[in-house]
A and B are shown apart, each in its own frame.
Chain A
């Protein structure tokens, strides 16, 4: 079945550092890929998405590129802020009856 694997956290960075959170997936067919973010006490919010190979999703300075050859969708940001501290979830959505499948989440802590 479909699965998503994320790097374990927490990831602790200083403000303005470069961020990478790794995500790889296993799925049949050509899924769409997502990054969601969860702030403390909140539900998940869609951060960005990509629907086909080589697509780049971007939002709020975050980017991720759909790499079919490596089955990856790594999240990057050039300069993180304290307000980016949250838990980040990678997810995929296949065609047909399959629901959204989430990774285990990666907690990011950004220190001033």
Chain B
């Protein structure tokens, strides 16, 4: 069964303090690893898709990387508006559904 584990559950940083969020996964044939951002009371907002080990994607202060067992979301010099819950999900070769991790709740203090 496909599984996704995100760590830490919650992370509090000062503005400008860079860090990384982890997403470990077990999947029978990865067909895509997805990162989303979710603000309270809203639907998840798509950030990145990664398909193969070694792949990297960047958007503003965010950079996502992928290995055969995990993905990292690196946040460089974060701002308070980066505060949100970040969700990781995988899709396997044998299924169409996304399997989500529990998310990392990120808080950036000014």
A binds B: no
B-contacting residues of A (Cβ < 8 Å)?
Answer: none
